[in-house]
Structure 1
Amino acid sequence: MATAYGPDTQDRRHQGAGPGFGANSPAKTPVKHFLPAPLRAPLEARTWRELLYALLSFPLATTAFVFAVTMTSLSAGLLVTFIGIPVLAVGLAVCRGFGALERHRARGLLRVEVADPEPVRGKTGGVMSWMGAILKSGVSWRHLLYALLHFPWATFTFVVAITFWSYGLAALTYPLWFWLFPVFGGQDGLQLYGDRTHQEYLDSPAELAVTGAIGLALVLAAPWIVRGLLSVDRLMVTGLLGPSRLASRVSELESDRGVVVDTAAADLRRIERDLHDGAQARLVALAMDLGLAKEKLADDPEAAARMVDEAHGEVKVALQELRDLARGIHPAVLTDRGLDAALSAIASRCTVPVTVEVDLDSRPAQAIEGIAYFTVSELLQNISKHARATRATVDVWRAADRLMLQVTDNGRGGASPAAGGGLAGLTERLDAVDGVLVVDSPAGGPTTVTAELPWRG
């Protein structure tokens, strides 16, 4: 069901009084390239970073592999004595050191953002406690596994990278240095074939051109081949050297719990402030006015009646403030009639015409429903204040086990979920319940904000 809402007359003078709809920085202009990606790849800094990573991987992986095999074998041979346990613990600790180096290399050269795992901490702080902790740590054993598995792959990648780049560059530049053979080597050029009766050299202009073309093909293919091989390195670094999924999930839940606690505390402070400055102050004044009216009732009934009438008006205002406050906590229409009616209500209060379309065959969990309501409410408030839009749409639908929200306006764009903005707060609130907020807002508009929430019906 699609419904359009909006005031009949719009006051355009107040639109655009603030910065762009959630904008904190201008939209980034895409970089224009004169060469297509296959041709510019050999000239890009990324290609040379990846080649350096592949070249450094061989000696580092060899060192780590030799150390891991040596310490593992030595500790296994000494397990019949107590010495094998500390040898194994030291070996695992050094493997974790190699892992830290690999993470730094991956961040610097491959631009892979992999978090550091939790450090090993013993319960009592002693040497025995430390050894027990490092032996029980799954992260330590994954670092050992990385040292064993990375060596053969790093060797293969090193050989392939060296072969393609060296042969490619040599063949590409062969027309420039083939003259060395007749001058200093005593032969016509690079020999392709030779026996007692026949020799074949690359020395004619056509052969030089074909050799250069083959070299160019190898040079153009080398970056993509190395990049494909290093995708395995990326998977190994993130899968074996980063924190485990369980540890990442625990850390994420702890962060989300902190966001929920902070949000709840901020909401409680807001409610307390609104009650103290609004309805409570008005009710105190009302009580004083009624007290004065009571005193004047016998002496001046007409003045008392006027004061009672004014107090009646104050009661109506206080009731409206309390209704608004209750709506800000959890609107009754949302509880009674669901998202369709609740979103239609807030759309009708927006300063621009809003089309609302809700396609839900059932209702999600109350908590998810409330977050969806307040998300759309804040996005529509941003549109009213900052977007300079003339129309907006709100779409709500269900996709498998996810509740999808999309708010679009034809305003000036430039919205950004950067830290400190309103969209950043929405992002944190949605993230606390495993939700996602995606902002697409190029400069000049239009702006599309998509929110994804778990259904949890």
Structure 2
Amino acid sequence: MAIADAPTADAPTLCPPPDAAGRPAAPVRRGPLSSVAWREYGYVFSSFPVAIAGFVFAVTLFSLGAGLAITVLGLPVLVALLAGARLLGAGERERAAARLGLRTVAPVPAPKGGVRERLADPAGWKAVLFQFLMFPWRIASFVVTLTFLAAGWTVALLPLYAWVFPTFVGWPGYRLFDWTTDAGVHHAYYLESFWQIGAACLVGIGLVLLTPVLVRAMNRVDRAAVRGMLAG
């Protein structure tokens, strides 16, 4: 009777291939022109109007409901606030999944019953808190991302359009600043030489390469907020 050899400590361990064809998974590219980077940019830019709408909705209904809380009329307004915040939270989870690749599960369903039972909704109140807390952060993220993108690409591409200023504008080069003191002394500085334009281009390339890293770091805050306040 044949006896199978027992595996030894030196025997290699067989691992399943990463995909059906046995090819290793391709690395995720995160450069400034990669699809991952532009999805993250799109998330930041789309978060700007979403944050404004969510903040206005939350502030309006919360103020109205709290102001009328001493009467019966304020309680249905707060119930509507929680229901609307849950809907906004569902939309945020969908956006985070599409743009950031963040997979989350929905929170527990809203409690049924009367007004008091519906107001005792922790997930709904966390969704309201999300709208308040993320509004200033998303405004700041929008401003920083737009500034770095515009400044980086504008300066990085300077060698391509530097000829426009002496040809059509009448400047010797790209003007960085221009002012006149109270004593009538005029100060102006232009990027006009080859080395000045080249140095500015290198600075712009550095900003272009830094932008996706910075945006990805800022979006980590959004990932944590969606996972912590909008997911189950």
Is the shorter-chain TM-score for this pair beyond 0.5, marking a shared fold?
A: yes
Matches of residues 21-420 of structure 1 in structure 2 within 5 Å?
25=20, 27-31=22-26, 41-123=31-113, 129=114, 131-196=115-180, 197-243=186-232
Aligned CA distance change for structure 1 residues 11 and 74 (closer, same or farther; 3 Å): closer
Deviation at 1:11, TM superposition (A): 4.9
Gaps of 5+ in 1: 1-6, 13-20, 124-128, 244-457
Aligned residues: 218
Deviation at 1:121, TM superposition (A): 4.4
Q: SS in structure 1 opposite 2:206?
A: helix
Q: Verify the 8 A CA contact 1:175 1:208 in the aligned structure 2.
A: yes
Q: Verify the 8 A CA contact 1:174 1:212 in the aligned structure 2.
A: yes
Deviation at 1:119, TM superposition (A): 2.2
Q: SS in structure 2 opposite 1:201?
A: strand
Instruction: Report what 1:10 is aligned to.
Output: 3
Structure 2 residue identity aligned to 1:205: F
Q: SS in structure 1 opposite 2:31?
A: helix
**What is the TM-score with the length of structure 1 in the denominator?**
0.45
Aligned CA distance change for structure 1 residues 49 and 32 (closer, same or farther; 3 Å): closer
Deviations 1:172-195 (A, max 9, x none): 111112223233323222212323
Moved over 4 A (4+): 21-28
Instruction: Report what 2:11 is aligned to.
Output: none
Structure 2 residue identity aligned to 1:164: F
Structure 2 residue identity aligned to 1:212: C
User: 2: CA distance between counterparts of 1:54 and 1:239?
Assistant: 19
Aligned CA distance change for structure 1 residues 70 and 32 (closer, same or farther; 3 Å): closer
Structure 2 residue identity aligned to 1:10: I
Deviation at 1:97, TM superposition (A): 1.1
Q: Verify the 8 A CA contact 2:145 2:215 in the aligned structure 1.
A: yes
Gaps of 5+ in 2: 6-13, 181-185
Instruction: Report what 1:257 is aligned to.
Output: none
User: 2: CA distance between counterparts of 1:233 and 1:32?
Assistant: 24
User: 1: CA distance between counterparts of 2:109 and 2:224?
Assistant: 22
Deviation at 1:26, TM superposition (A): 5.7
Structure 2 residue identity aligned to 1:224: V
User: 2: CA distance between counterparts of 1:113 and 1:211?
Assistant: 41
Q: SS in structure 1 opposite 2:32?
A: helix
Equivalent pairs: percent with the same residue? 36
User: 2: CA distance between counterparts of 1:120 and 1:165?
Assistant: 41
User: 2: CA distance between counterparts of 1:134 and 1:178?
Assistant: 63
Bigger shift: 163-172 or 111-120?
A: 111-120
User: 2: CA distance between counterparts of 1:220 and 1:23?
Assistant: 36
Deviation at 1:62, TM superposition (A): 1.2
Deviations 1:249-288 (A, max 9, x none): xxxxxxxxxxxxxxxxxxxxxxxxxxxxxxxxxxxxxxxx
